[in-house]
Amino acid sequence: MDFPTSYQESKKIFESMLCNSEHARWSYRCPEEGPGGDLLTVDVARLGPAGATSLLVISTGLHGVEGPVGMPMLQIAHQQMVRRRSDAVGLLMIHALNPFGFAWSRRQDQEGIDLNRNFLLNGEKYQGSARVYQKMDLWLNPPSPPRRDAFTIRTVGRVLRHGFRATKQAIVEGQYDFPRGLFYGGSRNSWVMKLLASNWQGWVGDAKQILHLDAHSGLGPWGKLQLLGEAPQTSSDHRKLTHCFPKQAKDFSLGAPVHYHARGGLGRWCGQQLPTKDYRYFCAEFGAYGPLKTLAALREEQRLWEWGQHERRRQSRYREAFREIFCPQSPRWRKAVVDQSIEVIHNSLKYLGEEGSGEDGPTVF
């Protein structure tokens, strides 16, 4: 399995993976270019019969720099589908939803938007921020290039003042008042949101049951996969989830949100567009370096991009250091990602009722 070091490498892997399979294919050009003037695209492929009643969706790179962690999941799912040749289950693969962020090793898109805070539902407005975030803005988003400023000590002080849960919720839930700040959800529909609004229903087609895994990294314990999404609303739904995903069952508290609430998340919006379908979304999150180190890296990268010299932010060593936070070089970490990707694809097919996925166990590649 591959962990590409750049957007262009990832795109080549995706294209070569499709060479030996029948599929429908779509490609959409990003309005901005990569660091070397490279063409950037969102690429989508669908395998399996057009009339499949169930559909496994895997999307990657919504937070651009996290794109590499999704490639093993795409490769495993593709191999499984080619091997099984199911008449009932199809596979929809979305490569690099945020190609600009992937190419530039940024979490945000070309407009500085955190795309997983941009998908507001009908009637919601692109405005507002948590009061705690407002108080912490100059600490989180100082208007100056990166420099030593006792970030760790000051962070501990704020956590003690506001509490860990309140601080975490305020920072990560999404904000719409500070365009040059972290977790900015934008002031309007992003290019990616418009792209999905025009094509999402067409990609899904006639499938009645849909399971959507959106690959991310950074949050949670080192190398551990967590499935984050809407809580089950019925006891039967809860039983099905705990049966199909036993290692993540502790996160599926009936009727309770998982970890924290975020505005403008991709999953809720995608579900709203498919009101007549059985749609379930999971942010498939692989933990890495922990909240404090990750937040410090996000803060430094944001300062460099917004307030640093253009030549410095183009330099590869800065991008490489930031990529390490979300896709560590550690062989143990990468093995854990591959092993758990195999398992979650296997369990996802079980969830979708794929015949033969429950007895043989995960296939090791």
Report pLDDT digits (tens) over 125-173.
999 999 999 999 999 999 999 888 888 788 887 777 877 778 888 889 9
Q: 259 pLDDT band (50/70/90 cuts)?
A: low
Find the range with the poorest average confidence among 9-23, 220-234, 256-270: 256-270
pLDDT digits (tens, 9 = 90+) for 190-214: 999 999 999 999 999 999 999 999 9
Q: Is the pLDDT of residue 331 over 90?
A: yes
DSSP 8-state assignment for residue 107? S
Other CB atoms within 10 A of residue 333 CB: 20
DSSP 8-state assignment for residue 360? S
Q: 365 pLDDT band (50/70/90 cuts)?
A: very low
What confidence score (pLDDT) does residue 250 get?
Answer: 60
What confidence score (pLDDT) does residue 149 get?
Answer: 85
What confidence score (pLDDT) does residue 256 get?
Answer: 54
The DSSP bridge pattern shows strands 54-59 and 209-218 to be parallel
Other CB atoms within 10 A of residue 65 CB: 27
Cα(98)–Cα(132) distance, rounded to whole angstroms? 29
Cα(236)–Cα(240) distance, rounded to whole angstroms? 6
What confidence score (pLDDT) does residue 157 get?
Answer: 79
Cβ–Cβ under 8 Å, residues 8 and 33: no
Cα(127)–Cα(113) distance, rounded to whole angstroms? 13
What confidence score (pLDDT) does residue 251 get?
Answer: 67
pLDDT digits (tens, 9 = 90+) for 272-310: 999 999 999 999 999 999 888 999 999 999 999 999 876
The class that CATH gives domain 7-118+191-291+325-351 is alpha beta
Residue of 335 and 228 predicted with greater confidence: 335
Residue closest to 270 by CA, chosen among 214, 349, 227: 214
Q: 176 pLDDT band (50/70/90 cuts)?
A: very high
Cα(130)–Cα(176) distance, rounded to whole angstroms? 10
Residue of 362 and 297 predicted with greater confidence: 297
Structural tokens at position 265: 């998340």
**C-alpha 224, offset from chain centre:** 15
Q: Using a pLDDT cut of 70, give the percent of the chain over it.
A: 92
DSSP 8-state assignment for residue 3? -
Q: 71 pLDDT band (50/70/90 cuts)?
A: very high
Helices (H), the chain: 7-17, 71-84, 99-104, 131-140, 151-162, 164-172, 191-204, 235-244, 266-272, 291-307, 310-314, 316-326, 331-351
Taking the domains of the chain in order of start, what are their residue ranges? 7-118+191-291+325-351
Model confidence, pTM: 0.93
Cβ–Cβ under 8 Å, residues 178 and 184: yes
Other CB atoms within 10 A of residue 189 CB: 16
What confidence score (pLDDT) does residue 20 get?
Answer: 79
**Coil vs helix vs strand at 117:** helix
Cα(92)–Cα(83) distance, rounded to whole angstroms? 16
Q: Is the pLDDT of residue 5 over 80?
A: yes
Cβ–Cβ under 8 Å, residues 114 and 176: no
Cα(25)–Cα(23) distance, rounded to whole angstroms? 6
What confidence score (pLDDT) does residue 358 get?
Answer: 44
Average pLDDT, the chain: 90
Q: In degrees, to the nearest 5, what angle opens at C-alpha 175 toward C-alphas 173 and 181?
A: 115
Q: What is the mean pLDDT of residues 3-31?
A: 94
Q: 324: number of CA atoms within 13 Å, CB side? A: 10
